[in-house]
Structure 1
């Protein structure tokens, strides 16, 4: 008679949390602290945005190997230790530079789906977000931010053309969302498989929950733009919305 092999009992996760997620939570707290400490010798001659880039890589690694809460915790831990170790005044929980405030905010934003914004082997993406955020803070005219983002979108998304429309929404063109996905009247459009829709695509600008206008994107033919670039596009379009909200531009209701 053949022997019957019974499956080995699995060891239950302690406190109901899988071991992998437990380790991810530990890494979310300890990883950014350790990496920030290792970066201390470089803080006086390496730009804060580049130091933050390394910490965002840690956030991405934690989020990829744990649950969403671990990614959020890693982002918070990174922002805290970036402030403490890598911004002036050093070893204090105080940020004196507006540039460093922007960078810390980006670290906090680097979680969940938006981790992909900087999937972060591309330092140019983080630099673009940082540069646009600085301009949005300092520009005396929101039009300057609009024009900057219009030029950047053209190159980032390999567009044949791009313009900005203030005010009310007209028609129902395909839409590029903040999550990097494109939707049409018939549902989600698979950009990776099909390329851009052969029509103008809108990218809306929203600030403080209000709609201010939209970029109209004229895509290049035969171009497939990766999700990371599309997420960056949504992020810098959002910074235009914030700039328009700051100057009190007229908001309208989204349809």
Structure 2
């Protein structure tokens, strides 16, 4: 599995940003107290954690403490510290950096979850409104295909009417993926190879299935996104079921 570019960049920043910051602060080491220099490095750690992730924040804290020791404490350009106060400052920088970076990363995660939840809710509401006003189930199916492609970050998505053929991996209503009847470990193994079916079923009646093609080596979306995908498929199934029920009522007119 490949790591997203943003996470890779964040990890690189966690290692390099404190180093660059310490180099910039080195000319000031005789003019500014070590406490003030430490606070400036904590700001760098928080910035990396906020823009990146927990791993990046932890690496930034370790990097900041190491380069603070190497460049800003005596003897300079050595990882040995002679002054006890400087040693305590370096340890505090590491501890505070780790704590603050984790808090910053958690705040970023909570914000991202809130934005994602709002986006998922809007998708469901928009699709529900369309299903209510549209006179064409095909239009609802097209809309759901588009939403599934976006919410699951797919390479492509198509809808297949008719009976089931073959046994491809299946995305279940509870968000799990089954392969040959066994639950697939998405977090460790990524998406299974080939197309993945998502059945459109309502009130126990099968209406068709969406066939999902993930981006190769892509990280699977979180459980919340997969649950939204199952709800979207149910909206398409309901629209198809209503169309068939309406066709049945028309066919059963007077004299039938």
Give the TM-score normalised by structure 2.
Answer: 0.50
Name the structure where helix makes up a greater proportion of residues. 2
Give the TM-score normalised by structure 1.
Answer: 0.50
